[in-house]
Structure 1
Amino acid sequence: MKKLFGVIGDPIKHSMSPSMHNDLFQIYGIDAHYQAFHVKKEHLSDAILGFRALGIAGFNVTVPHKEAIIPLLDELDPLAKAIGAVNTVVYDNGKLKGFNTDGSGFVKGLLDRVSSLKDKKVLIVGAGGAARAIYFTMAEAGPQLLDICNRTVSKAELIVKECPFQVPASALDINKAESKLETYDLIIQTTPMGMAPAIEESPLSVHNLKPGSFVSDIVYNPLETRLLREAGNKGAEIQNGVDMFVHQGALAFEKWTGIEPDIKRMKDKVLKQLGGLSC
């Protein structure tokens, strides 16, 4: 019987996950299908009950469900529990177990482009589930400075307070972060702002951006967000969300199948579907 996998989110139409994972199932000879499911907040619990009834083998979780899904699962991986967000679920012996591959997926993708994080002064923009995962993983890597900014500063403060790894850090509002943007070597944008169809949105101004800095945006559709375009025009090196997306997807695929997939093939598949070259 064909195994069912999927991804839930709202919106979800933009997701490249079905194309990427179904290609992997085909090349590795796995009798399975991966489907995108549009699930609104108010229908999340019903969707998980439906997955249980169907015996879904595993699924990914994207915005806005990464935190809300936790009470609906049977078990949590320790890292996912510490982060307080889940992006990958495995169905194992009748139980749904939640994992978080966002942070590790992001750092793996970042290290394809940046040789070391130890000497970097870093700013993370946003304070949602992805931001928390990336913040904790970056903190473990031990950068020189790891600040975080958000429109609601209290959410950023909570991430700093609850991070299990000690690192010099401050929680800032957006205006304060913009005023001292030249401080940072690496800026990581973790919010959905700039995602299709709202492609002209940007979470902050790059007026004070330091030339030669590195700006990474976890949005991958479009391939170049307004933030990245403006940062590139200011002389920054830029990276979109394709690398993170592919690496976190590879980690999820490995948890579901035990197979370490071909990263290059995954990235090529996504870029082909998006119709462009990664930055």
Structure 2
Amino acid sequence: MRKFGLIGKKLGHSFSKRYFTAKFKQEGIADAAYELYELSDIAELPNLLAREPELVGLNVTVPYKEVVIPYLHELDSSAACIGAVNTIKLEGGRSKGYNTDFLGFRDTLRQFYPAGEGARALVLGTGGAAKAVWAALEELAIPYTSVSRNPTQNQLHYEAITSEVLQAYPLIINTTPLGMAPDTDRAPAIPYEALRPGHYLYDLVYNPEETLFLQKGRLAGARILNGLPMLHAQADAAWGIWANENCG
């Protein structure tokens, strides 16, 4: 039995096991199983791999997409450029990190947001998921500014996001876990009263289906999209890596 799974700190919100279990059943893949592996610290990863020798593929979620890198033998070129990993291939005692978040976000954003003249994005958060978003925006030639509680050069603090600032960014992307189940009453601190029907709000969170961030956008007339299409797209890309390279 080949094992696949997801590592993260808290996984009660995750749909990954449900998605892959259904995929295996629908496609008649009888020799594969997908499990959730909560790790209180990324330092527990070597013990997990030793304990589960049947593991051939892992997904990685918050807060380990960046800190997992020192535990891997090798990085795919795109993951190395992005600086974050959400997919791991395990083969022959070696581990290789990939980033399929980049593909999942890029492809779903193309369908959601008409990136013509005047396209500009405000990216909320600066963690591992944000790094994949930055790379996709750069490939799509969409200028962006990132917002952080601890901003570095060329980034903004949340306190700097005024109504005037929000008007300058038609596309607003939440890459933080704020609003994720079970803490559904939270949302990034931006002036939601400044949202207009011309705004597009993309939340990488997919559970709940409509976060408080998206709800506020919908009530303002903005177009909204949650992270479920991205989850499916990045999961399919991860399966392509595992199946092609592990399954022959």
Compute the TM-score of the two structures, normalised by the length of structure 2.
0.92
- Distance in 2 of aligned mates of 1:146 and 1:37: 34
| 1:35 counterpart residue number | 35
Post-superposition CA distance 1:98-136 (Å, at most 9, x none):
001112211111222224366411111100000011112
- Distance in 1 of aligned mates of 2:229 and 2:27: 22
Q: Choose from 156, 178, 181 the match for 2:162.
A: 178
Look up the equivalent residue of 1:203 and give its one-letter code. P
| 2:24 counterpart residue number | 25
Quick check: 1:121 aligned with 2:127?
no
Aligned ranges for residues 47-86 of structure 1 at < 5 Å? 47-55=45-53, 56-86=55-85
Per the alignment, in what secondary structure is the counterpart of residue 133 of structure 2? helix
The answer for unaligned runs of 5 or more in structure 1 is 158-169, 260-279
| 1:277 counterpart residue number | none
Look up the equivalent residue of 1:149 and give its one-letter code. V
Q: Is residue 83–residue 128 contact of structure 2 (8 Å, CA) maintained in 1?
A: yes
| 2:207 counterpart residue number | 221
Post-superposition CA distance 1:22-52 (Å, at most 9, x none):
11122222210000111112xx223333314
- Distance in 1 of aligned mates of 2:45 and 2:130: 25
| 2:150 counterpart residue number | 152
- Distance in 1 of aligned mates of 2:215 and 2:63: 26
Identity of aligned residues (%): 36
| 1:247 counterpart residue number | 233
Post-superposition CA distance 1:212-231 (Å, at most 9, x none):
21000001111111111111
Aligned ranges for residues 137-148 of structure 1 at < 5 Å? 137-143=136-142, 145-148=143-146
Q: 1:52 to 1:74 in 2, by over 3 A?
A: farther
Q: 1:142 to 1:113 in 2, by over 3 A?
A: same
Q: Choose from 185, 189, 207 the match for 1:200.
A: 185
The answer for unaligned runs of 5 or more in structure 2 is none
Q: 1:127 to 1:117 in 2, by over 3 A?
A: farther
| 1:191 counterpart residue number | 176
- Distance in 1 of aligned mates of 2:96 and 2:51: 16
- Distance in 1 of aligned mates of 2:117 and 2:10: 36
| 1:104 counterpart residue number | 103
Q: Is residue 117–residue 141 contact of structure 1 (8 Å, CA) maintained in 2?
A: no
| 1:232 counterpart residue number | 218
- Distance in 2 of aligned mates of 1:233 and 1:48: 46
- Distance in 2 of aligned mates of 1:115 and 1:210: 16
- Distance in 1 of aligned mates of 2:38 and 2:7: 6
* Segments of 4+ moved more than 3 angstroms: 115-119
Per the alignment, in what secondary structure is the counterpart of residue 239 of structure 2? helix
Q: CA RMSD in A?
A: 1.7
The alignment of Structure 1 onto Structure 2 pairs a total of residues equal to 241
Q: 1:62 to 1:226 in 2, by over 3 A?
A: same
Per the alignment, in what secondary structure is the counterpart of residue 35 of structure 1? strand
Q: More displaced, 81-90 or 172-181?
A: 172-181
